[in-house]
Amino acid sequence: MARQDAARVIADLFASEGAAGYLGEPVTQADHMLQAGMLAEQAGAPAPLIAAALLHDVGHFTGAVSGQDLMRGTDNKHSDQGAAWLAQWFGPEVTEPVRLHVEAKRYLCAAEPDYFARLSPASVYTLGVQGGPMRTDEMAAFEASPYAQDACRVRRWDDDAKDPDRSAPAFEHFASLIDALTKANSDTVRPQRHGPRIASARTPHRGHPRKSPGSSESTAAW
Ligand code: FE
């Protein structure tokens, strides 16, 4: 897919599935990711990390197993799915923090005693589905990744990006950043490191917002 399609395809995804009601949370999935992108921008993060924050949950839309399935107890591996989908346009500076943002939650739960208290009830629930806090050996492996710190930064913006009173810019605000990153990546020759390139998202359920399987469930902190 041509690089100039990236911003359009992602914008369409935000406007379709991303705009749907979000399982009882006061923010939509699109609002959640836009807030995360904005928090990264406000923190002065480099462009690839802003993009990673903005796009960290696209795997809920692009994978074969949905966020609904995650809330029913089946790990949808959305971080892996999202990273593989994004790899058609972006390099590891973007895709690796996305791929590792669930692992970062597991890591931070084990590494920082106060971190667990920050998690929403839904995120506590999905933590169990996703493997729970890391074991010591898993922590060492995570820390060995050159993208571990970036993943933890994305994770913290993720956790904070659920405020219904926080206004976030429209996706268009980030379009030029997406364009610049995809152009830079298309000009860079490097071996494929993580997963196949996937040409398109799972067909969006346009006009059919996902409904919560339970009113107590919330998912914006995945
Ligand atoms: Fe998230």
Q: For residue range 136-168, what is the model confidence (pLDDT) as tens digits? A: 999 999 999 999 999 999 999 999 998 889 889
CATH number of residue 14's parent domain: 1.10.3210.10
Torsion angle in degrees (nearest 10) through CA of 200, 202, 205, 206: 0
Cα(1) to ligand 1 centroid in Å equals: 26
Q: Identify the band that residue 202 occupies on the pLDDT scale cut at 50, 70 and 90.
A: very low
What is the domain range of residue 15?
Answer: 5-186
Tell me which of 47-56, 68-77, 168-177 is least confident: 68-77
Domain count, the chain: 1
Average model confidence (pLDDT) for the chain? 83
DSSP character at residue 92 = H
Q: Which amino acid, 181?
A: L
Q: Is 206 a domain residue? A: no
Cα(107) to ligand 1 centroid in Å equals: 16
The burial class, CB within 10 Å (0-12 / 13-18 / 19+), for 198 is middle
DSSP character at residue 129 = H
Q: Is 197 a domain residue? A: no
Q: Is 221 a domain residue? A: no
Q: Is 160 a domain residue? A: yes
Q: Is 214 a domain residue? A: no
d(CA 135, CA 131): 10
d(CA 78, CA 82): 6
Q: Is 23 a domain residue? A: yes
Q: Is 193 a domain residue? A: no
Cα(32) to ligand 1 centroid in Å equals: 7
Cα(33) to ligand 1 centroid in Å equals: 7
Q: Is 204 a domain residue? A: no
